[in-house]
Amino acid sequence: MQPQVFINFRGSELRRSFIAFLQPAMREANINVFIDELELMGTDLENLLVRIEESKVALAIFSKDYTSSVWCLDELVKIKECKDQGDLRVIPIFYKLEPSVVKYLQGSFGDNFRNLKRNHQHEPVKTQKWEEALTSITQTIGMRLPEQSDRSDKEFINSIVREVKKLLANIHIIEKPPREATNQSRGIFFVPARKLDITHSENPENWTWSSIYDGQSEADIEVATLITVYWLHITGNFHTRKLTPGTKYEVVFILNLDDTAAGWEEPVTLKLKLEHRGGSQSIQERTLSLDDYIGDGNNWVDIQVGEFEAPPKSAAAKIFFSLHQYVDTDRKDGLVVKGVAIRPTARDQVTI
């Protein structure tokens, strides 16, 4: 049976105290929980990352000594990746630590992180991912037990168990809309706008968010509408483990430009990168004028980023896709972003 809940924590600090009570409480509530001591001795981090992929919920337990562990931070990066793909729900747990301490890397928590970062200064990409994961996960609504609290660990653990049970029940109910399941059986996957990294999308002066009914998924989805920006940058990623090996896929941005859209005279740059587990990568890049698509009314436009062949499951890779235009003299508006589709090319479409 695959684990439902993965617990990310600082072992030397919490294993014989807080975790020693949390794990049995989860099991008593019939929650299939995974912690790293359940792995075979001598295994490497890769096995644990697979366990994260298999889970539905992750608890990231931040404690004072958390950032002194490379292991904890590498797990957290994987948790963020799965969360960003929509495959994992995350509950940050702030154990005798204030959320602001984690978010802003304050006190000994921050000092430990900076020491670790210095020790790994030859791996700037890795340390940047650590920092991004800490920032991202702390933006999720979590649970907190202050250092000076009237609540006991037992009471706090009981509240965690209740929240996890509610979350698992909710996932079971809404996990897959019927049409989405059909799309995935045809090999079509969708990354909605909310899962993309859109520069300035949190600022209502630049972007607004609204819900529309999507006939493809038979559900309401959120779309992002551009009010005004000069610097446009949209990125996302997807893991190939869900794809059919040997099948050729295309990656397309699904967009709309209304009749009043302006600032698109200069072309946008579209980029697709396939990054393999061993570190090798392949990159496709092209430019395209969105000016040609202005005034298509209510029709969504598919803007192809590139194509790739899905690798074997044993050599699963990650794809990164982006759309940008950095002409900061052009005020851009009128763009609506629905999301990104990853689907078999016409010649590799699956029929059912």
Asked whether residue 216 carries a pLDDT value surpassing 80, the answer given is no
Select which of 75, 81, 180, 250 is catalytic. Answer: 75
Asked whether residue 214 carries a pLDDT value surpassing 90, the answer given is no
pLDDT at 169: 77
Q: Supply the mean pLDDT for the chain.
A: 86
Asked whether residue 181 carries a pLDDT value surpassing 90, the answer given is no
| Measured CA distances, 16 to 5, 33, 70 (Å) | 19, 17, 20
What lies within 8 Å, CB to CB, of 179 at 6+ separation is: 216, 217, 218, 219
Most confident of 62-71, 82-91, 203-212, 275-284: 62-71
Angle between helices 124-138 and 70-84 (to 10 degrees): 60
Q: What structural domains and CATH numbers belong to the chain?
A: 5-174 (3.40.50.10140), 180-348 (2.60.120)
User: What percent of the chain has pLDDT above 70?
Assistant: 87
Helical (H) or strand (E) element with 274: strand 268-275
Asked whether residue 178 carries a pLDDT value surpassing 70, the answer given is no
Helical (H) or strand (E) element with 135: helix 124-138
pTM above 0.75, yes or no: no
| Measured CA distances, 24 to 32, 77, 269 (Å) | 10, 26, 52
Our answer to whether residue 75 is catalytic in this structure is yes
For the chain, what is the radius of gyration of the CA atoms? 22
Poorest-confidence range of 23-37, 91-105, 152-166?
23-37
Asked whether residue 348 carries a pLDDT value surpassing 70, the answer given is no
**pLDDT band per the 50, 70, 90 thresholds, residue 39:** very low
pLDDT at 42: 44
Asked whether residue 84 carries a pLDDT value surpassing 60, the answer given is yes
pLDDT at 298: 58
For the segment 251-269, the average pLDDT, to the nearest whole number, is 92
